[in-house]
Amino acid sequence: MAKTLATLVVAFSIVVAANAEDTKAKAAFDPAKIVGVFQITEGTRQGDKIDKEKLKAKITVTKNTFTVPTEDPNQKFLIEYKIDTKPTPAAIDMEIKDGPVKDIKAIGIVGADGDGFKLCYVVQEGPDSKRPAKFESTKENNAFLFVLKPEKK
C-alpha cells in the first residue's frame, strides 16, 4: 500500500510539474504585447544578414495587422495575421492584403524577445511549405528572421 501511494505521489508530481511547464511556456507569449510601433533591430533572409540601413522602417502592429512602409513614402504593405498560441513557439499565419504586391501568404512562428518579439517565417509557395520549427534563418529552410523592439520615444 505504501509503495502504491508513493508511486501515485511521484506520478502526480510529474504531471503537475509537466502542466506547470506547459502553462509557463504557453504564457511566455502574449499576442497583446506585440501591439504598438516597433523597429526591426536584426534581420536575416535565408541565412544572410540584412544590412541595418534597410531595417530603419517603423512597423505598426495592431491586434491583427502589420503595417510596413516601403521605400516609396506613398506605399505601405498591410499584412493581416493570426496567431495560434497553442503550439510552442506560437504559430503565425500572414497574408499581404494591400501594397505593391498582394495575396502573398506566409507561415511562421512568433515569440517574446525581452520587451519586443521575434518573427520567423517562410513565404508559402504551396502545400509543401513548412512552418519553421525554431527561430533560425538558413539557406536550407528559406526562412526570414526578424527581431523587433518597441520604438524609442
pLDDT in tens, 35-83: 999 999 999 999 999 998 888 889 999 999 999 998 888 899 999 999 9
User: Mean pLDDT, the chain, as a whole number?
Assistant: 83
pLDDT computed for residue 23 by the predictor: 42
Per the CB < 8 A criterion, the answer to whether 119 and 92 are in contact is yes
pLDDT computed for residue 28 by the predictor: 60
The rounded radius of gyration (Å) of the Cα atoms in the chain is 19
- Measured CA to CA, the distance from residue 32 to residue 118 in angstroms comes to 14
| pLDDT: which is higher, 146 or 74 | 146
- Measured CA to CA, the distance from residue 16 to residue 10 in angstroms comes to 10
Residues 6 or more apart whose CB falls under 8 angstroms from that of 10 comprise none
**Residues 31-150, CATH architecture:** Beta Barrel (2.40)
What value does the mean pLDDT take over residues 123-150? 92
Domain boundaries, the chain: 31-150
pLDDT computed for residue 15 by the predictor: 34
pLDDT computed for residue 54 by the predictor: 84
pLDDT above 60: residue 26 = no
44: left (phi over 0), alpha (psi -120 to 50) or beta: beta
Per-residue pLDDT tens over the stretch 110-134: 999 999 999 999 999 888 889 999 9
Q: Which has the closest alpha carbon to 96: 119, 65, 121, 141?
A: 65
What value does the mean pLDDT take over residues 77-97? 96
- Name the band, by pLDDT with cuts 50, 70 and 90, for residue 86: very high
| pLDDT: which is higher, 112 or 18 | 112
pLDDT above 60: residue 10 = no
pLDDT computed for residue 73 by the predictor: 84
